[in-house]
Amino acid sequence: KHGINAEYGGADGEPGVDGAKGDTGPRGETGEPGEDGAKGEKGERGEPGSKGLAGIQGEKGEPGVDGGKGDRGPDGDCAPDSYTPCNCDTHVLVRHSQSTDEPECPTGFESLWSGYSLVFFEGNGYGLSQDLGSAGSCLEEFQVMPFMQCSSSDVCRHGVRTDKSFWLAIESDPDYTIKPMTSIDEIQNHISRCNVCMGTQYILARHSFTKDSPECPEDFEPLWEGYSYVMVTSSGTSGGGQDLASSGSCLENFYLPTFIECLGRGTCAYYINNLDYWLAQNPDTSQPGMWGMGSVYSGLDDILEQGVARCAVCARENV
């Protein structure tokens, strides 16, 4: 400050140098909030959030009001319901070759197994026949005596002297004077082979009672033609027959003898007292059952021409 000093009367000196910066003072109190700023621009769209939890199922609503009655529909045609048959059923067919070769199944059938052609059993004088059209007539293994005899005393015997088995034979010219066969290999060369076949076609056999094979019924097709086989008998009252509606009653070949007999002691042979029965021809329809009575057919040619009836195995055509 320039001026005159009143006490001494001298003039004021020059201003001194600025002092050092002092310490920072204490923080002041927070001021009042300022006014809101202007609205900013819209930001970018965010990523989709995760799926929320399922809500609780709502309560069942009240039944709605019945609708109005509809218009009358057009009159329908009077006709039976349409029906398309379903080839869902399966049928078993057994074919016998009457040779040592395994026969083939007919077209449309598949093989289930092959084996040896069994005709019937005999035990203690009682016989049990096998329909040659059923699967039971085709055993997968050959045994001279496939069964055993059991009593109530918990004892079973295999190969009892009185037990017998009978098998469909192949074409042969047997010598009834020779000893029975004992070799299993030799015996098997006389046993017919068979095949159990499965398909969707219904099977039946038809017999003509003439030397001509019959035609199959409408909607059926022939699988094979043959000779009408009825039954066999052994010594005594033992024997067995075929269901004439079964394919087993129509053998494709006519051989005599038709079957071979095996005994419990382990031997097999052709025996003169074993008999075959076949349906006979009866062409004179004016006197059913009378034609041919008392006739004897000697020789294979006469038997085939005048004696044995013919047959056909038929399968229903699939729709």
Q: What is the CB neighbour count within 10 angstroms for residue 222?
A: 15
Q: C-alpha distances in angstroms, 101 versus 131, 195, 215?
A: 21, 10, 28
C-alpha distance from residue 169 to each of 1, 94, 172, 177, 310 (Å)? 157, 16, 8, 18, 20
Per-residue pLDDT tens over the stretch 195-227: 999 999 999 999 999 999 999 999 999 999 999
Are 80 and 189 in contact, with CB atoms under 8 Å apart?
A: no
pLDDT per residue rounded down to tens, the chain (319 residues): 455 555 555 677 777 787 788 788 788 788 788 788 788 788 888 888 777 777 777 788 888 888 888 888 888 777 666 655 556 689 999 999 999 999 999 999 999 999 999 999 988 888 888 999 999 999 999 999 999 999 888 899 898 888 999 999 998 888 788 889 999 999 999 999 999 999 999 999 999 999 999 999 999 999 999 999 999 887 767 778 899 999 999 999 999 999 999 999 999 999 988 899 999 998 665 665 566 667 888 888 999 999 999 999 999 987 6
Q: At 305, is the secondary structure helix, strand, or coil? A: helix
Question: Cα(166)–Cα(270) distance, rounded to whole angstroms?
Answer: 10
Q: Which helix (H) or strand (E) holds 184?
A: helix 184-188
Q: Return the structure tokens found at 145.
A: 């005596």
Residue 231 · residue 217 · CB < 8 Å: no
| Beta bridge partners of residue 269, listed in sequence order | 261
User: Which residues 6+ apart lie within 8 Å of 150 measured at CB?
Assistant: 156, 157
What is the torsional sign of CA 21, 27, 32, 35?
Answer: positive
Taking the alpha carbons of 179, 185, 189, 193 in that order, is the dihedral positive or negative? positive
* Block residue for tokens 């004897």: 296
Measured distance between the N- and C-terminal CA atoms of the chain, rounded to whole angstroms: 135
pTM for this prediction: 0.69
Q: What is the dihedral of CA 107, 112, 115, 121, to 10 degrees?
A: -110
Give kind and range of the element (H or E) at residue 302: helix 300-302
Phi-psi sector, 289: left (phi>0), alpha (psi -120 to 50), beta: left
Per-residue tokens: 224 = 């094979």
